[in-house]
Amino acid sequence: MLIDIKSMNDDELEKFIVDGGFPKFRAKQIRQWLSKSVESFDEMINIPKNLRDFLTSSCYISVANIEKKLISRYDKTVKYLFSFFDGECVESVLMSYKHGWSICISTQIGCKMGCTFCATGRSGFSRSLAPSEMLAQIESAQKDMNIKISNVVLMGMGEPLDNFENVVKFIRLASSPTGLNIGMRHITLSTCGIVPKIYELANQHIPVTLSVSLHAPNDEIRQRTMPIAKKYSINELLKACKDYFDTTGRRVTFEYSMISGVNDSDQNAKELAKRLEGMHSHVNLIPVNTVEGTGYIKSNIKRQQSFINILAEKNITATVRRTLGSDINASCGQLRRKHQIEGGK
């Protein structure tokens, strides 16, 4: 069994190198090469041959291979389908903003949570990603576009808190000055709301932005679209969000996909406003992306505006998320679905 070297943190890598009989400082050089997305140890030209041979015989370098790449005609958004060593694929979306490049990465291959509106949820679950495979998505995009990415959102395929250990390790590695050096404040983790894990995350001392997929103002509507809502009530979820703010000082963002006739009435907005009143939060309204087979239709502009106005009356800030790459987007999970249907994994 070869060792996944890119998933090791600095201490682990240093110990591994020293235990192998090599000087400690080599670990730092190796880390620098790994972050540059080299694919073999022989590319590490300032590392002596005997150490390269030792690494080649004991470790592997996790990479994200570009299977497909779609570029938006309207903006600079790029959607990648990446494959890993076992042929499994995930999607990542690279977006250009005034403040720099941002990437939306996947944390699992598929998802177990089964939300009814989500393409990923509908195509089942294969496995969780290693920390190195999350890093590799960022590195591959940086290398392909010759850019430096400054923001990362864990909003691609999968439920980050269902892959807790690996995601926390990834966040530490990605923010390490010896790694990609992306500040924790520039990392956003999106969750469907696995309540005990939100408390655990708050205690990790990694002040990432927490984004909670709420999508409903009450348990009854939430349970219709999100199976996780049967396990944890909205009250329990919001209590965990308050704790996250109290512990980390980070304002929580709520995602609310607006589905016509399901969760977008004025009454729904009023109920939501009442629940969120007084919380340090921000609401992102997302007109739901149509996924084949769901029968869901996005709310119209009038509904969106009405929702924003009702929330504003209670001093809750809400914005409709800017849709980038609308021609290639078709919501996360769909590119892999298409690839699966065409005979890929």
Binding site for ligand SAH (CB under 6 A): 117-118, 155, 159, 190-192, 213, 255, 257, 286, 288-289, 291, 331
Q: Which residues of 298-312 are buried (b: 16+ CB within 10 A; e: fewer)?
A: bbeeebbebbbebbe
- Residue with the closest Cβ to ligand SF4? 121
Residue 226 or 324: which CB sits closer to ligand SF4?
226
d(CA 120, CA 125): 8
The single residue of 14, 67, 91, 133 carrying the catalytic annotation is: 91
The nearest distance, CB 320 to ligand SAH, in angstroms, is: 12
Interaction between residue 111 and ligand SF4 (CB under 6 A): yes
Which position among 77, 120, 209, 304 is part of the footprint of ligand SF4 (CB under 6 A)?
Answer: 120
Is position 121 an interface residue for ligand SF4 (rule: CB under 6 A)?
yes
29-37, 112-120, 246-254, 314-322 -> range binding ligand SF4 (CB under 6 A): 112-120
Which single residue is written with the structure tokens 């505006």?
Answer: 305
State the residue for tokens 């570009």.
66
Tell me which of ligand SAH, ligand SF4, none is bound by residue 155, counting a contact when its beta carbon lies within the kind-specific cut-off of 5 to 8 angstroms: ligand SAH
134: tokens are 């999350």
Residue 257: name its binding partner from ligand SF4, ligand SAH, none (Cβ under 5 to 8 Å by kind).
ligand SAH
Alpha-carbon distance of 144 to 66, in angstroms, equals: 9
For residue 257, the SS3 value is strand
Site for ligand SF4 in 150-189 (CB under 6 A): 158-159
Task: With CA atoms as reference, report the closest residue to 158 among 137, 129, 195.
Answer: 129
Q: Is the dihedral of CA 115, 116, 119, 123 positive or negative?
A: positive
Active site residue 91: yes
Collect all residues with Cβ–Cβ distance below 8 Å to 342 and sequence separation of at least 6.
none
Concerning whether 111 is annotated as a catalytic residue, the answer is no
Enzyme catalytic residues: 91, 332
